[in-house]
Amino acid sequence: MARAPVSLLKTILYAVLLYHLTGGVSLAQKPVVYKGKKEKLPLAVAPQPIAFSHKKHAAVGLACLQCHAGATGKTQAGLPNTEQCMVCHDAMMADRPEVKKLAEAHRRGEKVKWVRVYRVPDFVFFSHASHLKAGEQCASCHGPVDQRDVLAKEISTSMTHCMNCHAARKASNDCSLCHQLGH
Ligand code: HEC
Ligand code: HEC
Ligand code: HEC
Ligand code: HEC
Ligand code: HEC
């Protein structure tokens, strides 16, 4: 009676050993995929203070970089200030309630308190400039923004998500790359 469990245990131990011995070989061939906690996406954020639609403004022909000019040369893509909106809305649709809110903020010299959608913690280093230089597209990390009236977080910013793209692109996954001292 006592023997069966012992030989079963031996079999398991051999299997584990065999797995580890061959594991190194097969791991090197399989693409690396890091797994993290399950996330629920898209993740809605609180309503924006002004009902701004990316879809409508993309349809007008405005490029992403016209309002997020920081993306190519800086860490932060940045958000547009009211002057950039008023170039058109000083005259255009000035009687609309949502545009009136915009004009009012502009007149008072206040920033619009846009609700943030994408954000990584302070101990993570992320720069738009280097990703755009490497040829990454806005849509890979933010989804089809030009088709959205209201933005929600559609693409993960988890550590495993970052690392999976880095592995796929053969970019570094050293801890110090994203967790630099002083950041
Ligand atoms: C190049 C000109 C231009 C710029 C710059 C611009 N808009 Fe617009 N905006 C438009 C046009 C054109 C429409 C109408 C689009 C439509 O209805 O299809 C519009 C529509 C809107 C509306 C909807 C108004 C309504 O009641 O239907 C809001 C709100 C708005 N814009 C806010 C903004 C904000 C905020 C900014 C700056 C971040 C901005 N716009 C920058 C041209 C512009
Ligand atoms: C007319 C100006 C304008 C244009 C053009 C524009 N955006 Fe925006 N963007 C804004 C404003 C205003 C906000 C803040 C309100 C919101 O989140 O909808 C914003 C927010 C965002 C955010 C969320 C930022 C956060 O809070 O984390 C992303 C991502 C973004 N834009 C990407 C894009 C992309 C990609 C394009 C091109 C397809 C684009 N934007 C074109 C004005 C613009
Ligand atoms: C490799 C992924 C990646 C790409 C490509 C990317 N973004 Fe982002 N974006 C992020 C992350 C991550 C954040 C949050 C950054 C933070 O919290 O500091 C962010 C934040 C933003 C924000 C909020 C304001 C800011 O600067 O933090 C805007 C606006 C934005 N992105 C627009 C864009 C636009 C426009 C493009 C294309 C020109 C783009 N992004 C390309 C990952 C990306
Ligand atoms: C869609 C693919 C993709 C995603 C998603 C992505 N990266 Fe990257 N990242 C790259 C590529 C490609 C490079 C290599 C760029 C180069 O060769 O300089 C890179 C380089 C970097 C670098 C080194 C260059 C620099 O800016 O100092 C950092 C740091 C970095 N990524 C952080 C992040 C973080 C943090 C996230 C998640 C929030 C992330 N990345 C998500 C593709 C991605
Ligand atoms: C490509 C970028 C990237 C690399 C490489 C990376 N991290 Fe992270 N790390 C992140 C991001 C992004 C977060 C924040 C995730 C979030 O928003 O919850 C994070 C979060 C963390 C946290 C906080 C706890 C958690 O899980 O959220 C720890 C601890 C951590 N990383 C350690 C490490 C270590 C150790 C390594 C090396 C094995 C490493 N990281 C490599 C991007 C990276």
Per residue in 77-103, pLDDT (tens digit) is 999 999 999 999 999 999 999 999 999
- Give me the pLDDT at residue 8, please: 61
Look at ligand 2, atom 30, and give the residue with the nearest C-alpha.
Answer: 145
- Give me the pLDDT at residue 142, please: 98
Where do the domains of the chain lie? Answer: 1-30, 36-62+117-183
Q: What is the pTM of this model?
A: 0.92
Query: Residue 112 C-alpha to ligand 5 middle, in angstroms?
Result: 31
- At residue 2 the predicted structure's pLDDT band, cuts being 50, 70 and 90, is very low
- At residue 172 the predicted structure's pLDDT band, cuts being 50, 70 and 90, is very high
Give the mean model confidence (pLDDT) for residues 167-175.
97
Q: Answer yes or no: is the C-beta of 162 below 6 A from any ligand 4 atom.
A: yes
Query: Residue 54 C-alpha to ligand 2 middle, in angstroms?
Result: 6
- Give me the pLDDT at residue 21, please: 45
* Nearest ligand 3 atom to alpha carbon 77: 26
Q: Tens digit of pLDDT for each residue in 35-68?
A: 988 899 999 999 999 999 999 999 999 999 999 9
Q: Answer yes or no: is the C-beta of 167 below 6 A from any ligand 4 atom.
A: no
Q: Answer yes or no: is the C-beta of 98 below 6 A from any ligand 1 atom.
A: yes
Give the mean model confidence (pLDDT) for residues 103-115.
98
Q: Tens digit of pLDDT for each residue in 12-25?
A: 555 554 455 444 44
Q: Tens digit of pLDDT for each residue in 132-150?
A: 999 999 999 999 999 999 9
- Give me the pLDDT at residue 32, please: 82
Q: Answer yes or no: is the C-beta of 126 below 6 A from any ligand 4 atom.
A: yes
Quick check: 182 pLDDT over 80?
Answer: no
Q: Answer yes or no: is the C-beta of 61 below 6 A from any ligand 5 atom.
A: no
Question: b/e for 16-52, b at 16 or more Cβ within 10 A?
Answer: eeeeeeeeeeeeeeeeeeeeeeeeeeeeeeeebebeb
